[in-house]
Amino acid sequence: MMKRWTISIVMICLAGTAAAQDQLWHNKQRHAHYFPQGTDFVCENGKLRFNRALYGGNTAFRVEAGDLPEFAMYLPGMGGNLKFGLVSGGRGKWLINAEHIRAVYSPGKMHYEIKDPLLGKGVMRIEVLALYEAEGMIVKTTFRDAPPQAELVWVYGGVSGKKFSRNGDIGADPESSFYLHASACKDNAWDINGNAFTVTYGGGKKISGIFPDVKTGDASMLQTPADVYASTVAAAPVVTGKMAATATDRYFLLLHMSDYTKQRFTDIFSDPGKTAKVIPEIFRQADLDRARLANRIRLQTPDPYLNTLGGALSMAADAIWEDPTFLHGAVAWRMRLNAWRGAYVADPLGWHDRARTHFSSYARSQVTAPPVTGVVMDTARNLARHEEKIGTFLFSDGYICRNPDGDIRAHHYDMNLVFVDQLLRHFNWTGDTAYVREMWPLIKRHLAWEKRNFDSDNDGLYDAYAAIWASDALQYSGGGVTHTSAYNYFANKTAASLAALIGEDAHPYREEADRIYAAMQQHLWLPQYGWFAEYKDKMGRQLVHSSPGVWTIYHAIDSRVPDDFQAWQSLQYISSHIPRLPVQAKGFPKKGLYLHSTSNWQPYTWSVNNVALAENLHTALAYWQGNRAGDAFQLWRSALLESFYLSASPGGFQQLSFYDAVRGELYRDFADPIGMAGRTLVEGLFGIQPDALHDTLLIRPGFPLEWDHARLEVPDITFGFSGKGNTDRYEIKQSFRKKLRLKLILPAKRDEVEMITINGKPVKYTALHAVDVPALQLTAPAAAVYHIEIRWKGKPFDKLQQAISGQLLEAVMPGAQMLKVFDPQQALGNARIAGSRTSASSGRRPAGINGSSANGTAGAKLTATLTPGAGSKTVFLQMKQGAFSWWQPLSFEIAAAPQQRVPSTGGHYEKVRLDRYFNDKVTNIFKQAYLSPRPVMPTLQLPVQGIGNWCYPFTMATVDDAGLRKAAGAQNSITSTDGVPFSTPSDTLKKNIVFTSLWDNYPESATIALNGTAEHLYLLMAGTTNPMQSRMTNGFVIVSYTDGECDSLRLNNPQNWWPIEQDYYTDGYAFTTDAPHPERLYLKTGRFAKGLEEYTPIKGFSLRGIDGGAATRLDMPLRSGKTLQSLTVQAYTNDVVIGLMAATLLRK
């Protein structure tokens, strides 16, 4: 039967959200929080406390500041709260309640300007810093034009040493954790000596301080500043004091007397007479240290919202370093891990010494002993993962442990891949072949370990064992996975290159890289769609999962697997299929901002569908690498601006965004986004990609063409650009350990070049036949400085125009010649370029793709018919204008017309008797042990109970059909809300479902005999699914007729196949099902409904859990003129159980 298709076309497909860009996300009105001022972040009358961390030295100590001038120290553990108040003329208030507070975050420092009626026309200023040479905080206050009766009161206390669940981070611990609580003061013992003091807490630990004035007070008297100052010591002792609001700078110093502090401040309290001289110098030195670090990275652009990035990134990157390694986060998750992406920041920011220390320390934690056992899956964790024990097959020779310096212990991630990727890229920055030789044994062991564990069948496709940040619910059951195969491709290809440099045998690594590449192209690249699959099943039907997460796309591109055409198409998958969430806030001038979720999978569980800063930045990097600089910049800018200016922490690098529907904004200065911010700034926006091993410096700037200037200064290189009219100038100064040859690739601004000079001498250029943007390449010998001038001439490049009429596509670029068509997805039929001397070639990659001597006519038009097949499609048109030829993508959307259902009229219902086919009770679905088939290899997989994931292997949901049994009653029948009856046994001893599955527990399919004719079939079904089976057909219902024909209903997650234990969460943004909410039968109540008012969370797994579980009502039209033979229920994907509880026919 011919299908009718509705064709629509757009040049850039905006993905995923049914909501308009101007609609409020979840109807939540956001307000702009901070604004840029030079390199600073400014807030007027903010509301938050303790939302900006100040780090100081490279320890876990930090100062907490925020919009409001109240401060705390974290040691780690609560190090006390310092708050200020104003008193004047018998009135008083805490400073956080002042009428006007201007807060400024200068990276590493908070300063405040405070105005209030208590100050008259006066102004108070406060500056707060963390110390770098000690663990401590210093505050400077000063007044201008304050009335003579005005006084400043302060109170400090609450030194409990209590550690918070996520170290007091945003989204995890409440702001009130850092408040001054009387209960936190009870253990504090104070020793006061003049204006110096020491508080002892926690069994002998100490904090010392010097304030302008000190006396003891009572933390239970905090109602007003005057109250606490007037109080005397009680059960909740604090120190307090006051002074006149004079113009003199006054200082408040607090020191955590740790070993780190004692080494540097041994005599700070020995001579109180010198205090007045010493403390200002401490403040000055701390500010110098801060400024020196903040100025490590300098960025100048026409966009003031981006010019704050240098200092913010420098401070955050330094905060995740604690000798000898980088950490997982500066605040939450401040722990050592050999990955994820934090350590990437070292080389772009010039910390090559830190990078080497990091890599070398973990090299000492690589296991070198062979396995003493085979594969040992963890029975205590329901077979969801491999047993965590050194000496087992997984945790053996080649595995790199989570802690450095020879701390050998197993941990449940394959962090080898990211760690080694960082190491391999580090070599490109330093060109240090001696260090390559030193690390070569680690690389060899790593590659052998990966092969032995994750490609034991030698097919070139690698399983993924928790190998990326987003892996906490990814479980591939031994399948061949794109992102890990890509990592291993890049590693083996690079190892072959390194081996040649140091005299090792390159052949085995080159051979393995070729094997991986061929396997990925054959099994994971989906040419009809134009992107890589998430993975290919090892078990069952060996299906390909065709809806990847963003990590699949960006890792493949970052690892240089796809060619330019494949990369462009893959990125179009993100643009057209991954949800796009509009970023907007009242008072925020930047428009058109957006973020992507990490996937479109259902149901939600942690890590598989989030809105994460690092994931958006890594995706932006892939857009730059895939020659889509415009899309890259817009996503990159959106992600950074949302985190810097709209989130809680100014200039902070959040883990999750406000737009993460389930978790919300989470954490500050998390390592992964810091690492990716470094890479995207240097490698993406400015395109700086050194290959010091081969003496080459590649620069391919990715900033907007409309910018008239841009400048980046990092320790290794300074890159400056200025453009005026038809003249562009570039200045490049390199400070690498050796001078590198220059290869500079630039987008063409006009279609002819008048002249190019490098250091005053004319040079020739090469026109590149690039995808998307015409470009040229310049090369120059190694030099310390390059001054480059380009004078453009000719015409601007025309824009492609396109139109659709029915199934006919037309496209033309009026001022350019159209030479060829490359149609890799077979989207076009009868493609022809009118007026060209060559015919269009569709399908296979055309010969001469890097150039063509074909002649064409300017303004030649492409005409083609659109082939049936719904989805986003892309073809490439080879264009020529002036001196440049390039491949212009043309993307469009072909949408299938919605199927029209003709409602049935009249007739009667006939319930199909299924009693003799039932093979279980629906309540037993999670009481089974799904033991086989399972792969015999280290892998992450579904726990044996059929629910949960490797991170939550003990997850359980109770299915209770008591309400259904009761509702069925003596008639053994229930009726849906629209009157369809279903037969189901009320007897609790009887089975009430026929289960099918690829697990050996049940048959793969079950067939029920039918007869006669019918117009419609109604079904009551229940079973399982999970995110790893999302956006694909999980099973089938097949109705066969006596003449051999059949109709089928695809059971698709998430459109119509819903899990028994929960309802899908939908919001029209990151979470959609692309279908109406089906009617469900809630088993515990026996009630039909479309959703519940209240759900029962399943800990660590779902917030939409259904108490007792639910079945789903489905239906399918039948061909009433044909005689029925049978109904078959078939499980199609791995992991799932497909069950039929009832069936009813609508007879004429």
125: CATH? 2.70.98
- The DSSP output letter for 370 is P
Asked which of 516, 549, 577 is the last residue of a domain, the reply is: 577
Higher pLDDT, residue 630 or 849: 630
**pLDDT at site 1070:** 97
**pLDDT at site 438:** 99
**pLDDT at site 21:** 46
Residue 876 sits in the same domain as residue 938: no
Asked which of 239, 269, 294 is the last residue of a domain, the reply is: 294
User: pLDDT by residue (tens digit) across 793-831?
Assistant: 999 999 999 988 888 999 999 999 999 999 999 999 999
Residue 1045 sits in the same domain as residue 1119: yes
**pLDDT at site 854:** 41
Q: To the nearest whole percent, how much of the chain has pLDDT over 90?
A: 90
**pLDDT at site 845:** 58
Q: What is the mean pLDDT of the chain?
A: 94
The answer to the question of residue 361 being in a domain is: no
Assess whether pLDDT exceeds 50 at residue 1145: yes
Average pLDDT score over residue span 224-249: 95
**What are the strands of the beta sheet with 775-780, ordered from one edge?**
688-691, 696-699, 741-747, 775-780, 766-768
Neighbours of 369 (CB within 10 A): 11
Q: To the nearest whole percent, how much of the chain has pLDDT over 70?
A: 95
The answer to the question of residue 678 being in a domain is: no
Assess whether pLDDT exceeds 90 at residue 16: no
Of 9-18, 286-295, 447-456, 562-571, the least confident: 9-18
CB 471 within 8 A of CB 413: yes
Residue 161 sits in the same domain as residue 265: yes
**pLDDT at site 259:** 79
**pLDDT at site 804:** 85
**pLDDT at site 1:** 29
**pLDDT at site 806:** 80
Neighbours of 406 (CB within 10 A): 12
**272 falls in which pLDDT band (50, 70, 90)?**
low
Assess whether pLDDT exceeds 60 at residue 5: no
**966 falls in which pLDDT band (50, 70, 90)?**
very high
Residue 421 sits in the same domain as residue 531: yes
Number of domains in the chain: 5
Residue 854 sits in the same domain as residue 929: no
Return phi, psi of residue 895, to 5°.
Answer: -110, 130
User: pLDDT by residue (tens digit) across 313-352?
Assistant: 999 999 999 999 999 999 999 999 999 999 999 999 999 9
Look-up: residue for tokens 């099943």? Answer: 537
Helix orientation angle between 507-519 and 433-454, rounded to the nearest 10 degrees: 50
**267 falls in which pLDDT band (50, 70, 90)?**
low
Assess whether pLDDT exceeds 50 at residue 531: yes
Asked which of 532, 555, 577 is the last residue of a domain, the reply is: 577
DSSP string, 745-805: EEE-SSSEEEEEEETTEE---EEE--BSS-EEEEEE---SEEEEEEEEES-PPPPPEEEEE
User: What's the domain range around 973?
Assistant: 908-1147
Residue 729 sits in the same domain as residue 820: no
User: pLDDT by residue (tens digit) across 156-215?
Assistant: 999 999 999 999 999 999 999 999 999 999 999 999 999 999 999 998 999 999 999 999
Average pLDDT score over residue span 404-409: 98
Assess whether pLDDT exceeds 70 at residue 849: no
**901 falls in which pLDDT band (50, 70, 90)?**
low
User: pLDDT by residue (tens digit) across 107-153?
Assistant: 999 999 999 999 999 999 999 999 999 999 999 999 999 999 999 99
Residue 728 sits in the same domain as residue 756: yes
Question: Strands 593-596, 535-536: parallel, antiparallel or unpaired by DSSP?
Answer: unpaired
234-247 per-residue burial string, b: 16 or more CB within 10 A, e: under 16: bebbbbbbbbebbe
**277 falls in which pLDDT band (50, 70, 90)?**
confident
The answer to the question of residue 402 being in a domain is: no
CB 781 within 8 A of CB 763: no
**pLDDT at site 266:** 61
pTM of the model: 0.96
**260 falls in which pLDDT band (50, 70, 90)?**
confident
Average pLDDT score over residue span 708-722: 99
Give the CATH number of the domain where residue 742 resides.
Answer: 2.60.40.1180
**pLDDT at site 24:** 87
Of 587-596, 663-672, 954-963, the least confident: 587-596
Assess whether pLDDT exceeds 50 at residue 915: yes
CB 999 within 8 A of CB 930: yes
Look-up: residue for tokens 């009135």? Answer: 91
**pLDDT at site 14:** 36
**pLDDT at site 894:** 82
Average pLDDT score over residue span 2-9: 30
The answer to the question of residue 955 being in a domain is: yes
Residue 868 sits in the same domain as residue 936: no
Average pLDDT score over residue span 663-685: 99
The answer to the question of residue 446 being in a domain is: yes
Residue 922 sits in the same domain as residue 853: no
**pLDDT at site 19:** 42
Residue 112 sits in the same domain as residue 76: yes
**pLDDT at site 848:** 40
The answer to the question of residue 333 being in a domain is: no
The answer to the question of residue 660 being in a domain is: no
Assess whether pLDDT exceeds 70 at residue 10: no
From the list 987, 1020, 992, the residue with the least C-alpha distance to 919 is: 992
Residue 1012 sits in the same domain as residue 1131: yes
**pLDDT at site 597:** 98
Question: Strands 884-896, 871-881: parallel, antiparallel or unpaired by DSSP?
Answer: antiparallel
Residue 844 sits in the same domain as residue 702: no
Within 8 A by CB and 6+ apart from 566, the residues are 525, 530, 824
Instruction: Determine the longest span between alpha carbons in the chain, in angstroms.
Output: 106
The answer to the question of residue 1030 being in a domain is: yes
